[in-house]
Amino acid sequence: MNDDNNQFAGTIYIDSQLDSYRNYLDDERIGNIANQLNKESIIGKHFFILLMELRGIAYNASLPYLMPTMLETFYAGYVQSINPRSTLLEFASAIMKRLSSEVPQLTKSNRLSRKIKDRLVVMSQDYFDINKKVPIIIDSYGIWDNLLKMPKPIFSYALWSNQRVSYLSGFSSYDNFIVKIVKNELKLDEYRRGAKFSNDIKRVFGEEAGKLVWNDGEVFILREIRNSLAHEGGKINNKLRQLKHECVLKDDVIQITPKDIKRLFSAITSAAEVIVNHSMNKI
């Protein structure tokens, strides 16, 4: 897969559209789940930790978008904050100070010094007015394009790594969340996910809900993607090849792009909703 919105950079594959790197998490949807919960309940505490982590990861994944857009905003604010009169007076004073040390005869007379300074202000104002008509435009999309076109693909590799790490972090947060829920439901002091975890999921949530939150469907596919990234360097295995993983492959290595993280977050939100509803129904 290679279209106008994406590009290969050396041995990696990235989405080259700036707007792809935003809106990772559906805040309204996950907020509606949060509103059902008591923050002081066990499920509430675990869910709000998950929510905090997902938001942090979403912000991290959005950094490629935030960086050029914040530069554009900062520059626009800086230009508007400049006081032309104050700047011109400071410039004229700096020139006069330099002249007094390099050409003392020009500044011996206070009257002459004031006249020179006044003329400098007027001339600078003319120059300022001319330049104001041809503003320097800092455009976030232009910054983005230049970053992608760097002679050495430093930014492209950072972009690739940022999305990959965000994916792994996102699934790890969900993994930690569901393990804590199972531990609580089984009323155990110590619990670690092991070979019997899928059976424990069934015990806690039942067959059908268990499929939705871990054992089958979308979460199962995303688990396999995470396992490939974490344990096989992203190399696709035969099990994952048979599933609808929808990931871009380069030399049989999974390439994580924003759409993969958004798919992950959407699936985590759906699974978390099932878990929350299960816990609420037991109260």
CA 168 – CA 109 distance, rounded (Å)? 72
**Sites in the chain below the pLDDT cut of 70:** 1-10, 76-89, 92, 106-108, 124, 127-136, 282-283
pLDDT of residue 73: 79
Token pair belonging to 245: 């993983």
CA-atom Rg of the chain in angstroms: 29
pLDDT value at residue 1? 36
Q: What is the pTM of this model?
A: 0.79
Question: What pLDDT sits at residue 153?
Answer: 86
* Angle made by CA atoms 64, 67, 73, in degrees to the nearest 5: 140
**Which pLDDT belongs to residue 135?**
62
Whole-number Cα distances in Å, 79 to 71, 135, 232: 12, 10, 50
Length of the chain: 283
The span from the CA of 242 to the CA of 78, in Å, is 54
To the nearest 10°, report the CA torsion of 219, 221, 226, 232.
160
**Residue 157 exposure: Cα atoms within 13 Å on the Cβ side:** 7
For 133, what's the count of Cα atoms within 13 Å in the CB-facing half-sphere?
5
The pLDDT, as a whole number, for residue 3 is 44
Distance, in Å, from the CA atom of 264 to the CA atom of 205, rounded to the nearest integer, reads 21
User: Do 178 and 196 contact (CB within 8 A), yes or no?
Assistant: no
Task: Give residue 261's pLDDT.
Answer: 98
Output the CA angle 201-258-157, nearest 5 degrees: 115
Cα angle: 236, vertex 213, 59; to 5 degrees:
70
Closest to 27 measured CA to CA, from 75, 62, 67:
62
pLDDT of residue 127: 67
84-102 and 110-132 helices cross at what angle (nearest 10)? 130
